[in-house]
Amino acid sequence: MPVVAEVEPADQDNAINLNDKDFPWQLVVDRGKILGCVYDNKFYSLGAILILESLPRKCELASDRNGQWQQLSEAELLLLQENVKQQQAVQREATYIGNEPINEQEARLIRYLRNVKKQTEANTTRLRN
């Protein structure tokens, strides 16, 4: 599993600091080659997507077995943009009712009620069939 999910933009909080002595480097270094990418003194696993200065890059394995940042293909870029829009819509839906912002407890209650409704609808559909 990547340190940073493949379709989610990588952020500095999810990266591993290279000076961290507790990180199991033996899992990502193979015969002197780093199986991942480094940016700003942080390690990102293969498949991680980093968005900085509006330039999305994906960590891929180069021919020398070191990770390197490469441009996303056209299809990957479209998928990433679609995913970001969906995440923003979900975030907006989870933190607002109409134009009014809600607090964390209200958001938690609404998520719970939506999940209960979804499960009830799924159970009802299953029972009909």
pLDDT, one tens digit per residue, over 75-115 is: 888 988 898 899 888 888 778 877 888 888 888 888 899 89
- Residue 120: the pLDDT is 92
In one-letter notation, the amino acid at residue 35 is L
- Residue 8: the pLDDT is 44
* 56 neighbors 9 (Cβ within 8 angstroms): yes
Q: pLDDT tens-digit profile of 7-47?
A: 344 455 567 777 777 877 777 888 888 888 888 888 888 88
Across residues 49-67, what is the average pLDDT?
84
pLDDT at 4 over 70: no
* 42 neighbors 17 (Cβ within 8 angstroms): yes
pLDDT at 116 over 90: yes
- Residue 98: the pLDDT is 78
pTM for this entry: 0.52
Alpha carbon distances (Å) from 77 to 26, 56, 99, 122:
32, 8, 31, 33
Alpha carbon distances (Å) from 126 to 60, 71, 113, 114, 121:
43, 44, 20, 18, 9
